[in-house]
Amino acid sequence: MSADPAAPSTRRRLVSTDPADVRRRLEQIERMLEDMVTIPGINRRIGLDAFMGLVPVVGDLAGAAFGAYLLWEGRNLGIGKLAMTRMAGRIGLDTALGAIPIAGDLFDFAYRSNTRNLKTIKKHLDRHHPETAVIER
């Protein structure tokens, strides 16, 4: 007799929900979105979010989707409603202002909603899951 693959006891998660794994995963995503390359001359780091913002509409929606993923992970960690509202507001502001041609690209360069949202998630993890805390240099 074989086990039913849909049974809860045999089902495996593709993505770990362990708070330490979530923290590492979100830090990697944030690095990809905000700190991928350094602009020579001004020594400013930018990431995929700024590059996606150069593509009208589609790029801004893709950036919002990545931001929504951070929001979803925050909800799964049990972040409070007020913090979730702030995080959603940052994503909305980044998406709305980022959609404005040229000025929106400059805004994407300066405003890092994903970094701010990750900071909120880290604060929650440090408070509620202190074993995930990492000493940053």
Cβ neighbors of 6 (< 8 A, separation 6 or more) are: none
What whole-number percentage of the chain has pLDDT above 90?
Answer: 57
**Residue 93 in contact with residue 113, Cβ under 8 Å?**
yes
The Cα–Cα gap between 32 and 35 comes to 6
Residue with tokens 């913002």: 53
19 closest CA partner among 135, 134, 116, 131: 131
- Taking only the tens place, the pLDDT of each residue in 8-51 is 555 566 678 888 899 999 999 999 999 999 999 999 899 998 88
Domain spans of the chain? 19-131
Residue with tokens 């007020």: 82
Tokens at residue 94, please? Answer: 């980044």
Q: Is the pLDDT of residue 137 over 80?
A: no
Cβ neighbors of 5 (< 8 A, separation 6 or more) are: 11
Tokens at residue 127, please? Answer: 């408070």
Number of other residues whose CB lies within 10 A of the CB of residue 30: 23
Residue with tokens 């929900």: 17
